[in-house]
Every structure is written in C-alpha cells, then in structure tokens.
C-alpha cells in the first residue's frame, strides 16, 4: 500500500475518533455521556463509508443508508431518524453534513423523542407513530431543531445533545479542510479510496479462507403475541458471503421489527467477528457481503411497522442465528435488557449486560454487553444524583452461565427502587429460553424481570408507585464443550 | 539564576537502564547503568557511577509500582464494598474487552471474587439510608481496600469500617477510598483504592530497602516522583503507591519543562520516544498539563497525573506487512534482547533498522556495539525504510495531535522537546508536519527523566469533591484548579481557580468543544489544590557548544539526533540544541 495514503488514512481515522470524543464529552444525556450510545463516521464523495469511530456495533452497517438518503437533497447539513429512510429506531438521531471532501455522520441515541411512553421505548407500540417524532431526511435548521425538541419530553437536554452533535460536525469540517490544505484534495480522496479498498481486500482474503458451503439455522424471539422465527441461510462462495432470511416470520404486530439496515448491521457484525476483528471499520469490509430478506418479514419490515425493539432485541437474535449458520457457537445473553423509567420530570434509560457465550478457546466473560451493544452502565452515584431512583443491588448472578469445557459468562442482578410514581418499560428477550450452549456445553440461565417480586413477561410497560422495586436478572451465556466430570 | 552549592542527585530506574544525574554546584554529571533484578541495587550503582558525594537532596523515579501492577505481583488483597455491590471490581462498567473478539478478557481484577466482601449500611446523595452493619471477616490478607457508595460526600461509614479493620488486623494495610480519591463514580474510585491497597506491601518493602541502602551509602532518604510531577516523601509514597504509577515518565516531563523554560520557550510539548513506547505531554506555560484520571494496565486510576499520552511504538518496535499490504509498527517490540536486527543477535526488523539504513544512526553505538547494516536490510526484506519511518511518524503525529489540537491548543505555538533514545531522530520531521518552528534537543536527552527528578517540586495534591451548583459555592481557595461542567454533563473541564470562574469555564468549553452556553447552570464537581515546595534552582552548563546544519547526524550521550535537510541550529548555554527551519 502507498505509505502516504496509509498516513492520510490514519489522519482520517483520528478525525472520526475526535468527533466521537467531542460528542461524548460535551453531551448532556446519560445515554451519550455515560453510556456512549453513539457513533461517528466519515464518508467519501460517492457516499461510501471510509472510517467509523465505533462504540456500538448496531450502528456499523446502518450508517451508509443515512448518507444515501440525503445525497440527493438540497443543503449541506441534514437530520434524520426515520427507520425506513436511513435510520434504525427513532431515538437514534443521525446528523449528516457535507465536508470539503465527502460527508461527516454522527448518530446518537437520544433519551426521549416523544411518543406514547417516557424514554420512547414502549413495550406495546404497534405503529411507528407511537414511538416518537419521525424525522425524514431534512435540512437541519434552527426551526427543525425547535420542532424536534418541542416533541421530546426533555427539550433542554435534547437541545444540549444536539449541540454536542453539531460541535462534532463542525470539528470534522475544520479537520478535513486542514487535511486537504496540507495534503491536497486529490491525495486525501485517493486515501479514502484506499481505506475502502484495503478493508475489502482484507475481508475478501479472510472469507476465502473459510470453507465454501451453504448452511441454515433458526431461533425465536419472544414477541407479545407468541414466538416468532428468524431463519438465516448463509452461503460462503469463494471470497463472498450471501445471507438470506427466507423462512423468517412475517413482521411483528408489535415492535420487534427491523428495517433492513439493522439486519445488515447484525450480519456485518458476525462477519467481522469471524474474519478480521481487528480491522479498522470501513464500508469496504462489507462489500463482499450481500444480505437479503423477503419484504414485509420481521427482519425487513414495511412502513409503518413499529421498530423500537428490533434495533436492540431482534438484532441480537439475528446475530445468534447467523453465527449458528456459520458453525457451532455458544449463545450470549441475546438481549440488551432495555429498562426505561420516567414521568413528566425525568426520563432514564439503561441497557444491562449479561453473560457472553463461551468460545472454543476460552470462557465467556461475565456481566458484559454481547453482540450489538457495548454501552457502559451508568454509575450508581451518577444515577442517584440525577434521578429519583435508588440502586438496591448490582452484582453478578453467580452460576447463571452454562457449564462446559469452557463456561458461559454469568449474568447480573440489578435492582432499582423508584422514589416517585412513574412508568416502567422493559424490553427484553431470553425470558423463556436460556442462551444455548454448543458442542455439549450447557445452556445459560434464562433472564427474569420482577416488579415487587412478581415475575413479568419479556416485554412489559406498567405504572409504578413510589417505593416499588424492579429487579432484572440477566441471562447467563451458554457453555462450550463437555464439562469434565468431577475428579478428572 | 544563581548556582546551587549543594549536590542534588536524581536516579530514574527504567526497564533496561537506570539513569543518574548529579547536579553539583551547577555542573551536571550523568551516568547510565543496566537495571538489575533488585531495583535498590541499580539505584546505588547509578549513584556510584555518577560520583554522588555530599548529596543534600536525592529524588527517585521508580517502576516498582507499575511493574507490580502489570505483572500482578502485589499483596494478597481483600475488598469491602456495600452489601449487594460486592462485585463492583469485576463488573467494571459492563463494556467488553474487544468489540469483535467476544471471549477476549479484561485484565484480571486485583481482588478475586472470594475476597470481595459486603457490609450492610447505605449512604445516599442526601445522607444515611441505612445504618452501618456488622463488619465482615476478611480472612488472611496483606491489604484491604474499602470503597462505599457516596463516601465522597460522607466518609463516616468508610471511616468506621477502616477503623475497625485496623483495630482487628494491626499488621494489615487498610485504605479507604475517601482517604485517597474522594471523588464520585464508584467503579473508578474502587479501582483506584484497590490498586493502592494491592501495591502497598510491595512498594513499602522496596522503598524501605531503598531507604536502608541509601542510608548505608551515606545518601539522604530519597524523595519519590509522583505521577502528578511532584515529589513526595518516602513515607507518603509507601502509604499510597497508586500515586507513583507513572513516576519515571512524569519526571521526564518535568525535565522537558525545565529545558524549555530555560531556553526561553513558555509553551512546549514533551516528546519522549524510547525503545518500546513513546510518551507525549503538553506543557502550557512550561508546566505539565495534568489529568484527574489515567488508565494503567486496563485499570482506571483516579488520581492526578501528568497528562501523558502513550503510544505503543518506539525505536525497537517490530515492523510487519499485513496481507492487505499495509505496514504496521509495534506494539510488539524487539526489546533489549535480541534487540533490533542490526544488533546482530537475531532480532526482527525494527524502526531502528530503518533509521540505520537511512543513514540516521552511527555505525557504532556508544559502548562499542557495531551495527550490522546487512542484517537490518535482510530483516526489512525489501520494505522501504523511509516508508517504515513514515508509518511510525504517523503514529507519533496522532499522539501529538491528541495532546495539542484535541485539547484545543495549536501546536504551532509550541516548541517540541525531543528526548529518549529515539525522540531526537524523529522530532524534526514531526515538527514539520505540525508546523512547529522549534525543536529543542537537551544535552541530557538520554537521561532527561533523571534531570527532571533533580528539578522536581515537592508537591502534595488535595481534592475536595463538591458536585453542586457553582453559584452556591463561596470561599474557594485562591490557587488551584476547579473541575467544572454544565449541569447535566458528565465530563468536567479543569480550569485554574480565578475571580470569574464561570467566564473562564464558558471560554474553556468553547475552546474545547466549539460552543458555550452562558444560560446553562455550571456545576462545580471538585476543587484541586496542591501544597508546593519549589524544587532547587538549577543551573546547567553546556559541556560543548556546536553548530549544526542539516542533513547531519548529531551524537549525544545516550541518544542520536537527526537534523534533516533545511534544519539548522546551535547549542544554547545549557547545551540544548535549538533547531529551526
């Protein structure tokens, strides 16, 4: 590879990372500042993603659609959150701006975008309209910002978070200007091409090392009306991979639906784990991967299907199913255990880690986010200083990981006591079925959601009174391989 | 500046070499000895080698604490937290170690689960929620870390637990989090106090052996360099060894500040490129920028430290070309053995080999090692050495940009102080990229940390946690720093205490993030003060003066400087080479 281009590429990566740092450090909502539920990226003139500062895998494959959605629009700075034109679910608000060479993109999960429940994570939404304000790709103006914040429960915080996002874009614009002035626009453009081509070369070579063949796998999600099936067929053919979801259930009457962008993210995540896990993120890495799904099915839903849990829950299951089609892999907790609490005075959102599935060469880590999320937990002290909530317990759920030659990771227990009347929503999975072990390893324990000691279904929205206690027990990971009998 | 009459000794122990600087009546003498298994022996060997006699003040930089942490050689430690939160050290912040390597493990916590205990009783943001319960049996341990929720606001429960444990176990080292880092965010505080307790037995053993050895050799009891760039007494460092985790690199930064100030440059960037890693640090106004928290070996340490940014690449870093054709440098290193390919001991291709092939290293190193060009060329196997240098420079540039541009400073306003074995080889090229006009290469570039030790201030840091509106706070101290943020943010900006603190914060926010908002309430998170006894006034005298003009290779004691085409300069009165274009 030409070294000058490699050096410019390293500068471009630094710009994306600096954008992310500015966004996190100057944001106001716990979601962005403490949990880092956001990503930033640079795209080239053709709308191809060249570098991404990754915090959250679910944003991986879903950003290119956002740029494609604004490229033909007038203006140079846009906002969107519409899952059916470039977005994922409504709380993920994406900004796209023109730079001297291509586009800068930031995506951040806003703690509330309106809709029927505080924190915009209703368990029982049946249409997208109930999940919050829908913003199709639109030029970003002061009036649009006013309209957006007027529709959210915490307008002041929303405005602050948007300013942090805008600051990240201003920074990217200035840095790209500097880079073009120093290196020349043509050289920077060539470096962008090379970043994309380099990732593509690396991933193609890695796919070529996998055995060719076609395999299918399936699993279920625990929808409000019963279980829905996800079926994936993976075809490895030379240096390309095709993943198809024919055989998957029709779209959910509630909100487990995924727009295809989210489904693609989940597939790219698995390919990334199995090919080049250390490769810097670039769209080229996914050029050899084709993802298809019948229109109107759970993983390629049609407007105006509700989608809020698709991004967190269904995406987790897609990862499990695609892994299973590739070979024997123990499952991780397979849910993000979304907990949202709020009333007219506050909105709080958290996702809780659990057990990772064991690998062929090691135990699964305990108490971590698996698959499509990697958000941090809000510190107990930060949480209690900010919200009318008290954390009563937070510890490992010992013994919840599946036994095996390698043990699955343990889940965790987190108890929250609410100090004011408020509404609770929990969007979770793996309450009926524990994560599966592989190669003879035992399954991990299923998760549990309890309110005042009473067990709840996987998806729940309910009113709480001051003093009520919510307890979340997250699933353990599956084990890998037969455990040796005692004494051996 | 007046010459001092007393002799001052600084000894910095590194992984491969132990460096000494003796300042005697304004004359600087330096020495380098190999680091031995027992650090105190290396310290005394270095002191002898530099001819230390009638030493008034003796300051020391050590890697004992860092190595004990990284190699997990600390004491058998227990942890006491709130009941229901015993596993805090194992839960961390719930992120996984690697996004795409699903079974990658975090570094092992310092306290295993079976030694993590809970005590009933709970404090909340507004006071006691449940009285303190029975204090658990901690078993047979060397040290205990105590960290209870909200102890940064109310230390009464922690104080009671620590007091009782000290009564029960007089021989066990007990540390409570409020004694060390009374700041909010429980995981980061717990991690800090656990590291402190874990290191205490090892640090106490080493420092007392050193004190004995120094006493026997007629040297005064050493002061120890802190991560914050100040020095503390041996007793203070033994009590809280988490404060000395970046002792040596901090001393280098202090040395760089001294060299820059004396050369007439108020604002400088320290660039310390060694064999396996590179440390960079901003010195606005000639003093090291500091941060309140630092990651050491994957563990957050919430203690003041010089704002050092470290990159896992240096002169000995190995070069490899991946399947996609990209050149990578580091983080694997050839180390001292076998060393770079050109040492002729069977090592792989390194940055040093590339520099040799480009004619930027002498054929023979001081000490007599003849460098083998053919071995270097064979190891690089056709990879363009200029390309290798460009790739490693790109890594260095990123680090330099992180500490300058990303902190809201324009590097063009700064001088680059280059030191460490490889720093002066790469500095001019980096300065050119960043638009920096001046590169300073100290005569003591190879032993600058030891020079920093003799120049260090005596310093004790204090922090008072507030977490309340700035408008409600009165009678702040005159000197020191405040951690401030807009109410609702999670990350603070540190601003020097001054009359219009709010105005200063709005300006700092605009500099760093591109906007400010005068209508938002400002929250005061913490106030940091330090008691400082200034170090001795120091005078340096050049041993030789020279004028250089690039392209030219300049050999210094323990380092080599490459002056590229277009650069030239001369030594100042201190012996510092002042280079410009």
For chain A, percent helix, then strand, then coil, each to nearest 5? 30, 25, 45
Question: Is B95 in contact with A21 (Cβ distance < 8 A)?
Answer: no
User: Could you tell me where the beta strands, DSSP code E, fall in A317-388?
Assistant: 338-342, 347-351
Q: Please indicate, yes or no, if residue B376 is contained in any of the structural domains.
A: no
Question: Is A201 in contact with B391 (Cβ distance < 8 A)?
Answer: no
Inter-chain contacts counted by CB atoms under 8 A, chains A and B? 196
| Chain B contact set for A24 (CB, 8 A) | 491
Cβ burial of B557 (10 Å; 0-12, 13-18, 19+) is middle
Question: Is B94 in contact with A353 (Cβ distance < 8 A)?
Answer: yes
CA A63 remoteness from chain centre: 12
State yes or no: pLDDT of B463 exceeds 90.
no
Greatest alpha-carbon span in chain B: 74
Residues A445-472: tens digit of each pLDDT: 999 999 999 999 999 999 999 999 999 9
State yes or no: pLDDT of A415 exceeds 50.
yes
**Among B498, B513, B533, residue at a domain's last position:** B533
DSSP state of B264: T
Q: How far is B331 from chain A (nearest CA, A)?
A: 14
How many residues does the structure list for chain B?
581
Q: Whole-prediction pTM value?
A: 0.91
Indicate the domain borders of chain A: 3-199, 334-488
Residues B329-381: tens digit of each pLDDT: 988 888 777 889 999 999 999 999 999 999 999 988 777 789 999 999 999 99
Q: Which two tokens stand for residue A216?
A: 């299918």
B252 and B132 in a common domain: no
Cβ burial of B472 (10 Å; 0-12, 13-18, 19+) is exposed
State yes or no: pLDDT of A413 exceeds 50.
yes
Residues B267-311: tens digit of each pLDDT: 999 999 988 889 999 998 888 888 889 999 899 999 989 999 988
Q: How far is A253 from chain B (nearest CA, A)?
A: 32
> How many Cβ atoms from other residues are within 10 Å of residue B323's Cβ?
11
Residue B236 neighbours by CB under 8 Å, 6+ apart: B224, B243, B460
B142 and B88 in a common domain: yes
B49 and B102 in a common domain: no
Q: Which two tokens stand for residue A438?
A: 């592989």
pLDDT of residue A1: 56
Minimum-distance CB partner of B327 among A6, A167, A368: A6
Which position has the token pair 């100290």? B442
Question: Residue B5's pLDDT band (boundaries 50, 70, 90)?
Answer: low
Do the beta carbons of residue B92 and residue B106 sit within 8 Å? yes
pLDDT of residue A194: 92
Question: Is B489 in contact with A21 (Cβ distance < 8 A)?
Answer: no
Q: Which two tokens stand for residue B390?
A: 């460009």
Cβ burial of A190 (10 Å; 0-12, 13-18, 19+) is middle
Say whether B17 sits in a helix, a strand or coil.
strand
B149 and B53 in a common domain: no
Question: Is A11 in contact with B387 (Cβ distance < 8 A)?
Answer: no
B99 and B82 in a common domain: yes
User: Could you tell me where the beta strands, DSSP code E, fall in A300-447?
Assistant: 338-342, 347-351, 389-397, 411-418, 422-427
What percentage of chain A has pLDDT greater than the value 90?
Answer: 83
- Alpha-carbon span B91 to A396, nearest angstrom: 7
Q: Which two tokens stand for residue A168?
A: 């990240």
Residue A279 neighbours by CB under 8 Å, 6+ apart: A199, A202, A203, A272, A285
Cβ burial of B478 (10 Å; 0-12, 13-18, 19+) is exposed
Helices (H) and strands (E) in chain A, counts: 9, 19
The chain-wide mean pLDDT, for chain A, equals 94
ipTM above 0.95 for this complex: no
B195 and B85 in a common domain: yes
pLDDT of residue B208: 95
**Nearest chain B residue to A35, by CA:** B93
pLDDT of residue B466: 83
| Chain A contact set for B98 (CB, 8 A) | 277
The whole-number average pLDDT for the span B557-567 is 90
pLDDT of residue B1: 39
Residue B256 neighbours by CB under 8 Å, 6+ apart: B268, B270, B272, B281, B283, B417, B419, B442, B448, B452
Do the beta carbons of residue A67 and residue A83 sit within 8 Å? no
- Alpha-carbon span B512 to B493, nearest angstrom: 9
State yes or no: pLDDT of B120 exceeds 70.
yes
Minimum-distance CB partner of B186 among A4, A273, A381: A381
The whole-number average pLDDT for the span A143-158 is 93
Each as own residue / partner, the long-range contacts of residues B431-436 (CB below 8 Å, 24 or more positions apart, any chain) are B432/B564, B432/B581, B433/A182, B433/B393, B433/B397, B434/B397, B434/B400, B434/B401, B434/B404, B435/B411, B436/B269, B436/B411, B436/B412
pLDDT of residue A7: 82
B505 and B471 in a common domain: yes
Domain limits for position B500: 458-533
**Among B533, B551, B573, residue at a domain's last position:** B533
CA A176 remoteness from chain centre: 27
Q: Which two tokens stand for residue A116?
A: 């029927």
Residues A338-358: tens digit of each pLDDT: 999 999 888 888 999 999 999
pLDDT of residue B333: 86
Each as own residue / partner, the long-range contacts of residues B175-178 (CB below 8 Å, 24 or more positions apart, any chain) are B175/B143, B175/B144, B175/B145, B175/B146, B175/B200, B175/B240, B176/B146, B176/B147, B176/B151, B177/B145, B177/B146, B177/B147, B177/B148, B177/B151, B177/B152, B178/B151, B178/B152
B41 and B135 in a common domain: no
Greatest alpha-carbon span in chain A: 72
Angle at A378 between CA A434 and CA A13, to 5 degrees: 95
The lowest-confidence range among A34-38, A178-182, A406-410, B457-461 is B457-461
B196 and B86 in a common domain: yes
Among B79, B513, B516, B519, pick the best mutation site for testing chain A contact (most A Cβ within 10 A).
B513
- Alpha-carbon span B425 to A372, nearest angstrom: 44
Alpha carbon distances (Å) from A60 to A88, A459, B82: 11, 26, 38
Q: Which two tokens stand for residue B322?
A: 């991946």
Helices (H) and strands (E) in chain B, counts: 14, 32
The whole-number average pLDDT for the span B487-511 is 86
pLDDT of residue B508: 87
Q: Supply the CATH number for residue B251's domain.
A: 3.30.420.40
State yes or no: pLDDT of A30 exceeds 80.
no
Question: Is B489 in contact with A277 (Cβ distance < 8 A)?
Answer: no
Q: Which two tokens stand for residue A182?
A: 């120093």
| Chain A contact set for B97 (CB, 8 A) | 365
Minimum-distance CB partner of A395 among B87, B105, B401: B87
pLDDT of residue B489: 74
Which residue, A437, A424, A440, is CA-closest to A475?
Answer: A437
Q: Please indicate, yes or no, if residue B49 is contained in any of the structural domains.
A: yes
B506 and B466 in a common domain: yes
Question: Is A22 in contact with B513 (Cβ distance < 8 A)?
Answer: yes
Say whether B471 sits in a helix, a strand or coil.
helix
Q: Which residues is A473 bridged to in the sheet?
A: A413, A448
Do the beta carbons of residue B550 and residue B564 sit within 8 Å? yes
Q: Please indicate, yes or no, if residue B577 is contained in any of the structural domains.
A: no
Question: Is A394 in contact with B88 (Cβ distance < 8 A)?
Answer: yes
B130 and B106 in a common domain: yes
| Chain A contact set for B515 (CB, 8 A) | 26, 163, 166-167
State yes or no: pLDDT of A33 exceeds 60.
yes
Q: Which two tokens stand for residue A142?
A: 């002061």
| Chain A contact set for B411 (CB, 8 A) | none
How many residues does the structure list for chain A?
488
Among A199, A381, A474, pick the best mutation site for testing chain B contact (most B Cβ within 10 A).
A381
Residue B281 neighbours by CB under 8 Å, 6+ apart: B253, B256, B269, B270, B288, B289, B306, B307, B308, B309, B403
Write the DSSP assignment of B227-263 as a string of letters: TTS-EE-HHHHHH-GGGGTTHHHHHHHHHHHHHHHHT
Residues B401-432: tens digit of each pLDDT: 888 877 778 888 999 999 988 999 999 999 99
Q: Please indicate, yes or no, if residue B34 is contained in any of the structural domains.
A: yes
As for how many domains chain B has, the answer is: 3
Cis peptide bond upstream of A304, omega within 30: yes
Residues A242-273: tens digit of each pLDDT: 999 999 999 999 999 999 999 999 999 999 99
CA B314 remoteness from chain centre: 16
- Alpha-carbon span B388 to A398, nearest angstrom: 49
B245 and B131 in a common domain: no
The whole-number average pLDDT for the span A148-152 is 95
Which position has the token pair 């050899």? A288
Question: Is B105 in contact with A362 (Cβ distance < 8 A)?
Answer: yes
Among B324, B397, B433, B512, pick the best mutation site for testing chain A contact (most A Cβ within 10 A).
B324
Q: How far is A477 from chain B (nearest CA, A)?
A: 11
Do the beta carbons of residue B309 and residue B320 sit within 8 Å? no
Cis peptide bond upstream of A71, omega within 30: no
Which position has the token pair 């990772």? A356
**Nearest chain A residue to B489, by CA:** A28
Residues A360-400: tens digit of each pLDDT: 999 999 999 998 888 889 999 989 988 999 999 999 999 99
Residues A193-214: tens digit of each pLDDT: 999 999 999 999 999 999 999 9
Do the beta carbons of residue B14 and residue B35 sit within 8 Å? yes
Residue A207 neighbours by CB under 8 Å, 6+ apart: A236, A238, A239, A240, A241, A271, A275, A288
Question: Is A356 in contact with B103 (Cβ distance < 8 A)?
Answer: yes
Question: Is B95 in contact with A367 (Cβ distance < 8 A)?
Answer: no
Q: How far is B434 from chain A (nearest CA, A)?
A: 10
Residues A88-118: tens digit of each pLDDT: 999 999 999 999 999 999 999 998 999 999 8
| Chain A contact set for B103 (CB, 8 A) | 356, 358-359, 361-365, 406
Do the beta carbons of residue A371 and residue A269 sit within 8 Å? yes
State yes or no: pLDDT of B474 exceeds 90.
no
Question: Is A25 in contact with B85 (Cβ distance < 8 A)?
Answer: no
Kind and range of the H or E run holding A170? helix A155-183
pLDDT of residue B480: 87
Residues B306-341: tens digit of each pLDDT: 999 988 889 999 999 987 788 999 888 887 778 899
Q: Please indicate, yes or no, if residue B501 is contained in any of the structural domains.
A: yes
Question: Is B94 in contact with A358 (Cβ distance < 8 A)?
Answer: no
Question: Is B509 in contact with A380 (Cβ distance < 8 A)?
Answer: no
**Nearest chain B residue to A168, by CA:** B513
| Chain B contact set for A27 (CB, 8 A) | 489-490
Say whether A304 sits in a helix, a strand or coil.
coil
Say whether B198 sits in a helix, a strand or coil.
helix
Distance between first and last Cα of chain B: 30
Minimum-distance CB partner of B91 among A14, A362, A367: A367
| Helix segments in B289-359, DSSP class H | 351-357
């Amino acid at each position: 590879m030409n070294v000058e281009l490699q050096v410019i590429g390293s500068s471009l990566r630094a710009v994306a990372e600096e954008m992310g740092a500015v966004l996190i450090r100057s944001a106001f909502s716990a979601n962005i500042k403490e949990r880092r539920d956001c990503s930033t990226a640079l795209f080239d003139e053709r709308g191809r993603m060249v570098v991404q500062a990754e915090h959250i895998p679910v944003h991986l494959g879903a950003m290119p659609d956002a740029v494609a959605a604004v490229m033909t629009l007038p203006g140079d700075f846009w906002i969107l959150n519409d899952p059916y034109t470039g977005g994922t679910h409504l709380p993920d608000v994406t900004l796209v701006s023109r730079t001297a060479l291509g586009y800068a993109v930031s995506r951040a999960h806003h703690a509330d975008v309106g809709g029927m429940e505080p924190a915009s994570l209703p368990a029982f939404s049946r249409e997208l309209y109930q999940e919050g304000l829908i913003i199709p790709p639109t030029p970003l103006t002061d009036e649009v910002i006013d309209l957006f914040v007027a529709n959210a429960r915490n307008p002041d915080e929303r405005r602050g978070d948007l300013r942090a996002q805008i600051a990240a874009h201003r920074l990217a614009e200035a840095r790209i200007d500097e880079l073009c002035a120093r290196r020349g626009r043509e050289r920077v453009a060539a470096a962008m091409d090379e970043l994309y081509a380099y990732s593509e070369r690396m991933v193609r070579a890695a796919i070529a090392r996998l055995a060719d063949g076609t395999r299918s796998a399936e699993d279920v999600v625990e929808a409000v009306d019963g279980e829905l099936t996800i079926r994936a067929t993976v075809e490895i053919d030379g240096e390309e991979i095709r993943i198809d979801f024919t055989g998957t259930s029709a779209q959910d009457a509630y909100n487990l639906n995924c727009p295809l962008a989210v489904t693609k993210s989940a597939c790219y995540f698995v390919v990334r784990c199995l090919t080049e896990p250390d490769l810097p993120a670039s769209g080229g890495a996914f050029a050899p991967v084709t993802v298809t799904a019948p229109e109107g099915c759970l993983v390629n839903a049609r407007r105006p299907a509700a989608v809020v849990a698709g991004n967190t829950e269904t995406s987790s299951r897609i990862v499990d199913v695609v892994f299973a089609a590739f070979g024997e892999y123990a499952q991780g907790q397979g849910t993000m255990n979304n907990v949202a609490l709020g009333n007219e005075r506050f909105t709080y959102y958290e996702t809780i880690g659990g057990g990772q599935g064991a690998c062929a060469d090691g135990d699964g880590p305990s108490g971590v986010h698996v698959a499509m999320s990697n958000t941090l937990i809000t510190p107990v002290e930060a949480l209690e200083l900010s919200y009318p909530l008290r954390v009563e317990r937070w510890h490992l759920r010992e013994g919840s990981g599946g036994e095996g030659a390698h043990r699955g990771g343990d889940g965790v227990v987190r108890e929250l006591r609410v100090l004011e009347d408020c509404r609770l929503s929990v969007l979770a999975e793996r309450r009926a079925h524990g994560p599966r072990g592989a190669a003879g390893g035992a399954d991990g324990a299923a998760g549990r959601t309890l309110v005042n000691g009473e067990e709840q279904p996987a998806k729940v929205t309910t009113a709480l009174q001051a003093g009520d206690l919510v307890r979340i027990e997250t699933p353990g990971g599956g084990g890998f391989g037969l455990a040796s009998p005692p004494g051996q | 500046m007046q010459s001092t009459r007393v002799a001052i000794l600084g000894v910095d122990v590194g992984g491969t070499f132990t460096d000494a600087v003796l300042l005697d009546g304004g004359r600087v003498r330096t020495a380098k000895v190999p680091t031995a298994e027992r650090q105190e022996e290396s310290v005394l060997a270095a002191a002898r080698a530099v001819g230390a006699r009638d030493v008034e003040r003796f300051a020391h930089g050590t890697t004992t604490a860092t190595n004990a942490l990284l190699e997990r050689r600390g004491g058998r430690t227990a942890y006491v937290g709130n009941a229901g939160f015993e596993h805090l050290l194992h839960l961390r912040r719930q992120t996984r170690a690697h996004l795409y390597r699903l079974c990658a493990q975090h570094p092992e916590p310092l306290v295993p689960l079976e030694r993590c205990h809970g005590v009933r009783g709970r404090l909340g943001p507004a006071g006691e929620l449940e009285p303190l319960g029975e204090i658990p049996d901690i078993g047979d341990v060397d040290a205990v870390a105590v960290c209870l929720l909200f102890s940064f606001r109310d230390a009464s429960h922690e104080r009671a637990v620590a007091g009782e444990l000290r009564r029960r176990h007089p021989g066990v080292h007990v540390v409570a989090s409020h004694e060390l880092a009374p700041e909010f965010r429980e995981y980061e505080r717990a991690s800090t106090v656990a590291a402190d307790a874990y290191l205490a037995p090892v640090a106490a053993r080493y420092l007392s052996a050193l004190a004995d050895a120094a006493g026997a050799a007629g040297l005064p009891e050493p002061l120890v360099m802190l991560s914050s760039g100040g020095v503390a007494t041996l007793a203070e460092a033994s009590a809280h060894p988490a404060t000395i985790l970046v002792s040596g690199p901090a001393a280098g930064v202090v040395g760089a500040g001294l060299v820059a100030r004396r050369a007439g440059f108020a604002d400088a960037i320290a660039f310390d490129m060694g064999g396996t890693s590179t440390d960079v640090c901003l010195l606005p106004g000639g003093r090291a920028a500091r941060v309140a928290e630092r990651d050491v070996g994957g563990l957050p340490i919430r203690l003041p430290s010089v704002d050092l940014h470290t990159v896992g690449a240096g002169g000995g870093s190995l070069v490899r070309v991946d399947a996609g054709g990209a050149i990578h440098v580091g983080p694997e290193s050839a180390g001292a053995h076998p060393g770079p390919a050109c040492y002729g001991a069977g090592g792989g291709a390194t940055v040093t080999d590339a520099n040799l092939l480009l004619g930027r290293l002498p054929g023979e190193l001081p000490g007599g090692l003849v460098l083998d060009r053919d071995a270097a060329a064979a190891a690089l196997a056709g990879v363009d050495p200029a390309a290798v240098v460009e790739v490693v420079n790109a890594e260095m540039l990123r680090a330099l940009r992180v500490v300058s541009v990303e902190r809201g400073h324009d590097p063009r306003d700064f001088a680059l102080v280059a030191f460490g074995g490889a720093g002066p080889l790469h500095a001019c090229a980096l300065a050119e990229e960043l638009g920096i006009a001046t590169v300073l290469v100290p005569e003591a570039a190879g032993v600058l940390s030891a020079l920093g030790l003799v120049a260090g201030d005596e310093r004790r840091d204090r922090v008072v946690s507030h977490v309340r509106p700035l408008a409600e706070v009165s009678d702040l101290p005159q000197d020191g720093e405040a951690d401030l943020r807009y109410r609702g943010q999670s990350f603070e900006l540190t601003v020097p205490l001054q009359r219009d603190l709010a105005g200063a914060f709005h300006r700092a926010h605009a500099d760093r993030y591109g906007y400010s908002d005068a209508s938002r309430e400002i929250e005061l998170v913490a106030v940091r003060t330090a008691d400082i006894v200034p170090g001795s006034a120091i005078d340096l005298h050049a041993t030789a003066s020279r004028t250089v003009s690039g392209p030219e290779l300049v050999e210094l004691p323990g380092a080599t400087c490459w002056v590229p085409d277009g650069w030239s300069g001369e030594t100042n009165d201190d012996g510092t080479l002042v280079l410009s274009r």
